[in-house]
């Protein structure tokens, strides 16, 4: 009796497998030939006045990248290896070694360079302007070539009584950065601001909201969080993916 039950269960499993495999959706890797599997995220170059900003942005990049199923070296491990074995402790020192040397030392296939060019809250009269601009690129350490690169700058203006404008959409150009001789071409998007909108309020409401918002952000450590999220939402779509990480669902059955 037990043997008969086992046969029945086995047949049911086989029938289910055949149905899913032949008639149901199949998972097909979009980019199975991507040679970059294990990656490291290098310390960011920081051009801002916020000492905590590069750490926050680098950690958020790590969290977002983990959804793409690269094998990512832990951030602290990367930091420790660079510091102890190469004497590199910050982004501005990345010119001290070639991508090939850095990748070989870290034991990875690809390295992400990150550049934080703007990270600030500026108050002029009755208007507050919030800016976050960053660029990222992935370098294949076997070839030294850039496999993916993109930049993004986001800006939000909050004014009292609608008295402030957004100004020009052109961002300041940068000729060279550590590990990047031509950042504007290597990371397209760095030369333009994407507007998050001009939020206008009444005088009293805007004053209370502005002061209250800054106090809350300062206490919780959420300064420019909206801008960071907005920037990453524009940065990651279309990104080069890890081997077999992103999938497309297709079906063998024809829709009537």
The pLDDT of residue 142 is: 93
Q: Which range of residues forms the domain containing residue 108?
A: 36-241
Are 171 and 191 spatial neighbours (Cβ–Cβ below 8 Å)? yes
Whether 12 is in a domain gets the answer no
Q: In angstroms, how far is CA 28 from the centroid of its own chain?
A: 24
Query: Helix axis angle, 225-235 relative to 53-65, nearest 10°?
Result: 40
Structural domain tally of the chain?
1
Q: 254, 232, 236: which is closest to 245 by C-alpha?
A: 236
* Burial readout 114-150 (b: 16 or more C-beta within 10 A, e: otherwise): bbbbbbbbeeeebbbbbbbbbbbbbbbbeeeebebbb
Whether 165 is in a domain gets the answer yes
Whether 98 is in a domain gets the answer yes
**Which residues are CB-neighbours of 154 under 8 A, at least 6 positions away?**
131, 132, 133, 193, 194, 195, 196, 227, 230, 231, 234
| 3-class secondary-structure state, position 188 | coil
Whether 235 is in a domain gets the answer yes
Mean pLDDT over all residues of the chain? 77
Helices (H), the chain: 2-22, 53-65, 75-81, 99-106, 183-186, 203-220, 225-235
- When pLDDT is cut at 50, 70 and 90, the band that residue 24 belongs to is very low
What DSSP character marks residue 94? G
Whether 125 is in a domain gets the answer yes
The pLDDT of residue 221 is: 44
Q: 136, 139, 134: which is closest to 110 by C-alpha?
A: 139
The Cα diameter of the chain in Å comes to: 86
What DSSP character marks residue 68? G
Question: Tens digits of per-residue pLDDT, 61-90?
Answer: 999 998 887 899 999 999 999 999 999 988
Q: Which of 11-25, 40-54, 188-202 has the lowest mean pLDDT?
A: 11-25
Q: 120, 110, 117: which is closest to 151 by C-alpha?
A: 117
Dihedral over alpha carbons 147, 153, 51, 69 (to 10 degrees):
-40
Q: Give me 133's structure tokens.
A: 């601009």
Residues 37-60 have a mean pLDDT of 94
Q: Give me 147's structure tokens.
A: 């496999």
Examine the pLDDT at 200 and tell me if it is beyond 70: no
Question: Tens digits of per-residue pLDDT, 107-116?
Answer: 999 999 999 9
- When pLDDT is cut at 50, 70 and 90, the band that residue 222 belongs to is low
The pLDDT of residue 130 is: 92
Tell me the CATH number at 230. 3.40.50.10610
Whether 211 is in a domain gets the answer yes
- When pLDDT is cut at 50, 70 and 90, the band that residue 168 belongs to is confident
Q: Is 155 exposed, middle or buried, given 0-12, 13-18 or 19+ CB atoms closer than 10 A?
A: buried
Whether 8 is in a domain gets the answer no
Dihedral pair phi/psi, residue 143, rounded to 5°: -105, -20
Comparing 55 with 204, the larger pLDDT belongs to 55
Whether 81 is in a domain gets the answer yes
Tell how strand 110-124 and strand 127-140 pair up. Answer: antiparallel
Q: 10 Å Cβ neighbour count for 210? A: 18
- When pLDDT is cut at 50, 70 and 90, the band that residue 4 belongs to is low
């Amino acid at each position: 009796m037990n043997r008969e039950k086992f046969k029945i269960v086995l047949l049911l499993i086989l029938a289910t497998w055949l149905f899913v495999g032949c008639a149901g959706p199949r998972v097909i890797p979009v980019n199975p030939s991507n040679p970059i599997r294990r990656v490291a995220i290098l310390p960011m170059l920081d051009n801002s006045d916020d000492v905590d900003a590069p750490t926050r942005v680098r950690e958020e990049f790590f969290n977002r990248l983990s959804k793409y199923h690269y094998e990512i070296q832990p951030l602290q491990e990367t930091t420790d290896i660079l510091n102890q074995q190469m004497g590199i402790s910050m982004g501005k020192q990345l010119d001290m070694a070639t991508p090939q040397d850095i990748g070989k030392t870290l034991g990875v296939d690809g390295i992400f360079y990150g550049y934080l060019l703007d990270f600030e809250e500026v108050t002029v009269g009755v208007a507050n302007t919030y800016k976050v601009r960053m660029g990222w690129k992935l370098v294949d350490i076997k070839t030294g070539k850039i496999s993916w690169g993109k930049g993004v700058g986001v800006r939000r203006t909050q004014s009292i009584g609608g008295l402030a404008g957004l100004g020009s959409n052109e961002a300041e150009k940068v000729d060279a950065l550590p590990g990047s001789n031509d950042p504007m071409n290597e990371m397209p998007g760095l030369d333009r601001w994407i507007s998050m909108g001009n939020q206008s309020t009444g005088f009293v409401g805007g004053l209370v909201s502005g002061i209250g918002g800054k106090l809350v952000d300062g206490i919780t450590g959420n300064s420019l969080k909206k801008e960071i999220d907005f920037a990453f939402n524009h940065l990651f779509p279309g990104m080069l993916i890890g081997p077999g990480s992103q999938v497309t669902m297709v079906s063998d059955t024809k829709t009537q």
